[in-house]
Amino acid sequence: MAKICNKCNTSIGTRSQKIDCGFCLRLFHGKCVQLTDTQIKNMEGFYWKCIDCKNNENTSTVLNGNISENENLIDVIKELKESVLSLKQEIQELKAEKKTNFNIEDVIKEMGERDSRKNNIILFNLSEANGSIEEKKKLDMESAVNVLNKISNLVDFSNISTYRLGKNTTSDIIRPLKIKLKSHDDAMTIIKNKRKLKSLEETKHITIAADNTPMQRDYFNKIKEELATRIEEGVGGSEGGGERSTCSVCSTVYRCHPHRARRARNRFNCPNGHLTLKMGSCFILLLLLLLLL
């Protein structure tokens, strides 16, 4: 039976150069598939693939690629659904908590404001000079560097910026001076050593504070008020013996026997079973708070 070329549909002679597809096993004239005699001889021992098999392979590759992409999309959608469900559950849990009354946007805004202020310090009672705006700025810078050098000589005060807080009026009120330092570490170095100013006659009237946000200032003020209230309530006569304390949980005022106070060290137990702090601990907390300001 004569062999037929699958390209031209004519018989393939015994002397004609021919080649068969290694995948579909169909025969072709060499010239019908644009192969020279030399190329056919060089391909002996190798698999040759006809154009139809190549097209089928490309189509299969594209389909497999599309299937793979679709599977990846399905996985992404599943992950998104799980994330949404998790967020919904967290929101429901937050709504269930009565104490959760903050707005996430306010929290993000507060974090950003704290980050923008972390390199700043504020000087109070640093006298303002008279003159033009440029002269005032120059003198403020010189005065600020002079004061800060008395606190620490380890901080580089070059390329810092200063500006007064509040409106420029003709009143005798001295406006605070905000100073922007190079880093947060520099600001903390000044804050930690600010008490050095109190030992010098020319700077004892000057105070330094961190550039806190309004939320931070309100929080510190509440803590100071609470400590002051506890200290005031704890100071009084010695009727009944022992030391006086107020429970921070139920506000019960009671006295603790001196021996019990010594055993409890810095803690008292109120009659209702709550734990509160001894007056000495309140003083320590107040001292730590003042050091942070």
Q: What is the rounded distance in angstroms from the CA atom of residue 156 to the CA atom of residue 175? A: 25
At 268 the pLDDT is: 47
Please tell me whether residue 9 adopts helix, strand or coil conformation.
coil
pLDDT for the residue numbered 129 = 82
Report the mean per-residue pLDDT for the chain.
Answer: 76
Lowest mean pLDDT among 91-100, 217-226, 256-265: 256-265
pLDDT of 26 strictly over 60: yes
Write down the pLDDT at residue 287. 58
Residue 236 confidence (pLDDT): 42
> What is residue 266's predicted lDDT score, i.e. its pLDDT?
43
Token digits for 289? 């708070």
Q: Which residue has the higher pLDDT, 259 or 4?
A: 4
Q: Which residue has the higher pLDDT, 48 or 267?
A: 48
Mean pLDDT of 15-41: 82
At residue 39's C-alpha, the angle toward residues 34 and 44, to 5°, is 120
3-state secondary structure of 277: strand
pLDDT beyond 90 at 34: no
Helix (H, G, I), strand (E, B) or coil at 257: coil
Indicate whether 61 pLDDT > 90.
no
Rounded to whole angstroms, the Cα distance separating 124 from 173 reads 11
- pLDDT class for 58, splitting at 50, 70, 90? low
Number of neighbouring beta carbons within 10 Å of residue 221: 10
Lowest mean pLDDT among 17-31, 119-133, 173-187: 17-31
**Alpha-carbon span 272 to 3, nearest angstrom:** 107
Q: In what order do the strands lie in the sheet with 177-180?
A: 161-164, 177-180, 120-124, 207-210
**Distances in whole angstroms, Cα of residue 208 to Cα of each of 196, 204, 214, 234:** 11, 11, 17, 31
Measured CA to CA, the distance from residue 217 to residue 293 in angstroms comes to 9
- 154, 215 in Cβ contact below 8 A? no
Structural domains of the chain in order of their starting residue, each with its CATH number: 3-49 (3.30.40.10), 117-211 (3.30.70.330), 215-292 (no CATH)
The answer to whether residue 8 scores a pLDDT higher than 70 is yes
Residues in the chain: 293
The rounded percent of the chain whose pLDDT value lies above 70 is: 71
Is the pLDDT at 25 greater than 60? The verdict is yes
Closest by Cα among 32, 34, 44 to 5: 32
pLDDT at 98: 52
Residue 38 structure tokens:
């030399």
pTM: 0.46
Q: What is the pLDDT of residues 243-258, one digit of tens each?
A: 555 555 555 555 555 4
Per-residue pLDDT of 198-251, as tens digits, reads: 988 888 999 999 999 988 888 888 888 888 888 777 644 444 445 555 555 555
Give the orientation angle of helix 214-234 with respect to helix 279-292, to 10 degrees. 150
Task: Name the strand (E) or helix (H) holding 276.
Answer: strand 275-277
Is pLDDT above 80 for 194? yes
